[in-house]
């Protein structure tokens, strides 16, 4: 089990603060759940909440977001509440000090179980949970508030039997194996957002100066009830098969995979959120009710190389394949969906 969240901190002193240690603790029992030292804090403390600005030192009067991921041991109970013991060097006193901050409740509600968004085999869960930073740290400031709609997002791409994502001219969207694949409703729901007027981007680089309202490209948002919304982004031009107000059933085709919007290669971007806005929302956890993991990719860098050059991904096979129910594929899992 995984606890994924953010801890906001502000240095209210007139001198620098350097983080040395952070312990995540069960607030009721006092049992330690995780401990981060200097090296890991250097990659998780994000001054100004600006991704790519990670640094364990915080200037005077500066704020930061610490992106945290706690992995519970098999069979361990989920704590009702957690708190944090932070040891840091405070320049104003010239010494280390430990403070206890950030007590909060752990959400106990089971995540929604979804059906497959695609059919077939060889789908790669790129930039997935829980430490690949492109989604889980995509904090946006919109209208005076921070939103993290993509907290649990996955970019789905597809490999062939040779473990490649693309064959042929890398600038042609249709040469990517996932391009044009049917997209399926993951649950019964109502269409509350859609767009289908944008053209595919040329693969190879993210588009420059893209307006924020084009970030998701051609998209569909489904209201699946209980305050849950599902966003499908970057759909193929002309492929959206639904309109506002349409009712869909699980398994209905709603469009096709494309390369529109803020995309550098054809893929399905999928996430669950708490409102109909693909960006001005809070991302919520979810699981898929049935799938099989056949392999796991080596690294994000290796995946990026495969996407950019057409080289095969480096994979570690799961032998035998792992059949899972009510689970979320972790980053770089290779997934087969039920037919």
Q: What is the pLDDT of residues 243-297, one digit of tens each?
A: 999 999 999 999 999 999 999 999 999 999 999 999 999 999 999 999 999 999 9
Question: What is the distance between the alpha carbons of residues 69 and 36, in angstroms, rounded to a whole number?
Answer: 10
Listed residue (203, 317, 205, 210) closest to 266, CA to CA = 203
Could you list the beta-strand ranges (E) of 14-58: 17-26, 32-36, 45-47, 57-58
Decide if 337 is inside a domain: no
Q: Are residues 133 and 180 in the same domain?
A: yes
Contact indicator for 265, 157 with CB cutoff of 8 Å: yes
Last residue of a domain, one of 83, 105, 127: 105
Contacts of 294 (CB under 8 A, 6+ apart): 121, 122, 317, 318, 321, 334, 335, 336
pLDDT in the model for residue 1: 86
Rounded mean pLDDT, 4-25: 97
Is residue 310 domain-resident? no
H/E segment holding residue 40: helix 38-44
Task: Please indicate, yes or no, whether residues 164 and 279 belong to a single structural domain of this protein.
Answer: yes
By CB neighbour count within 10 A (0-12 exposed, 13-18 middle, 19+ buried), where does 175 fall?
middle
Tell me which residue range forms the domain holding 262.
112-288
Is residue 145 located within the same domain as residue 59?
no
User: Of the candidates 165, 162, 197, 194, which has an alpha carbon nearest to the alpha carbon of residue 179?
Assistant: 165
CATH number at 265 reads: 2.70.70.10
Closest CA to 203 of 161, 262, 148: 262
* Mean pLDDT computed over 182-207: 98
Q: Tell me the CATH number at 56.
A: 2.60.40
Cα distance between residue 279 and residue 317, in whole Å: 35
Residue 303 lies in a domain: no
Domains: count for the chain:
2
167 shares its domain with 77: no
Does 209 fall in a domain? yes
Examine residue 299 and state whether it is found in any structural domain, yes or no.
Answer: no
pLDDT at 39: 97
The per-residue pLDDT for range 248-263, each reduced to its tens digit, is 999 999 999 999 999 9
Residue pLDDT, tens place only, 198-225: 999 999 999 999 999 999 999 999 999 9
213 and 266 in a single domain? The answer is yes
pLDDT value for 306: 98
**Structural domain ending residue among the three candidates 273, 288, 303:** 288
What's this model's pTM, rounded to 2 decimal places? 0.94
Last residue of a domain, one of 105, 134, 164: 105
- Same domain, residue pair 165 and 261: yes
Does 6 reside within a domain? yes
Same domain, 281 and 161: yes
Residue 108 has pLDDT above 90, yes or no: no
pLDDT for 128 equals: 96
Centre a 10 Å sphere on the Cβ of residue 326 and count the other Cβ atoms it contains. Answer: 12
**Which of the four pLDDT bands, split at 50, 70 and 90, describes residue 325?**
very high
Length of the chain: 339
Q: Are residues 142 and 72 both part of a single domain?
A: no
The neighbour count for residue 154, using CB atoms within 10 Å, is: 28
Q: What is the mean pLDDT of residues 111-128?
A: 98
DSSP 118: S
pLDDT confidence band for 187 (50 / 70 / 90): very high
């Amino acid at each position: 089990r995984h606890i994924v969240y953010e801890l906001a901190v502000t240095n209210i002193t007139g001198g620098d603060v350097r983080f040395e240690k952070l312990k995540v603790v069960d607030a009721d029992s006092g049992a330690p759940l995780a401990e981060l030292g200097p090296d890991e804090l250097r990659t998780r403390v994000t001054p100004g909440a600006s991704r790519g600005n990670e640094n364990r030192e915080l200037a005077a009067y500066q704020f930061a977001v610490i992106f945290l991921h706690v992995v519970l041991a098999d069979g361990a109970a989920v704590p009702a509440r957690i708190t944090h013991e932070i040891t840091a060097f405070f320049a104003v006193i010239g010494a280390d000090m430990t403070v206890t901050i950030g007590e909060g409740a752990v959400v106990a509600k089971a995540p929604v179980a979804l059906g497959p968004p695609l059919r077939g085999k060889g789908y790669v869960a790129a930039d997935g949970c829980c430490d690949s930073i492109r989604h889980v740290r995509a904090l946006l400031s919109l209208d005076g508030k921070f939103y993290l709609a993509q907290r649990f997002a996955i970019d789905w791409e597809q490999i062939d039997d040779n473990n490649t994502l693309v064959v042929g001219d890398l600038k042609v969207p249709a040469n990517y194996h996932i391009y044009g694949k049917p997209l399926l409703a993951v649950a019964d729901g109502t269409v509350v957002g859609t767009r289908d007027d944008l053209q595919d981007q040329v693969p190879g680089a993210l588009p420059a100066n893209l307006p924020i309202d084009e970030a998701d490209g051609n998209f569909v948002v489904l209201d699946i009830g209980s305050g849950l919304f599902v966003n499908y982004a970057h759909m193929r031009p002309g492929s959206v098969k639904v309109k506002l107000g349409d009712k869909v059933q699980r398994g209905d085709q709603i469009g096709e995979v494309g390369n529109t919007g803020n995309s550098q290669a054809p893929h399905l971007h999928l996430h669950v959120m708490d409102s109909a806005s693909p960006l001005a929302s809070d991302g919520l956890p979810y699981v898929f009710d049935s799938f099989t993991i056949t392999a796991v990719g080596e690294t994000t860098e290796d995946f990026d190389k495969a996407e950019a050059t057409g080289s095969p991904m480096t994979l570690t096979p799961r032998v035998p394949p792992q059949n899972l129910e009510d689970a979320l594929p972790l980053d770089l899992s290779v997934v087969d969906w039920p037919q």
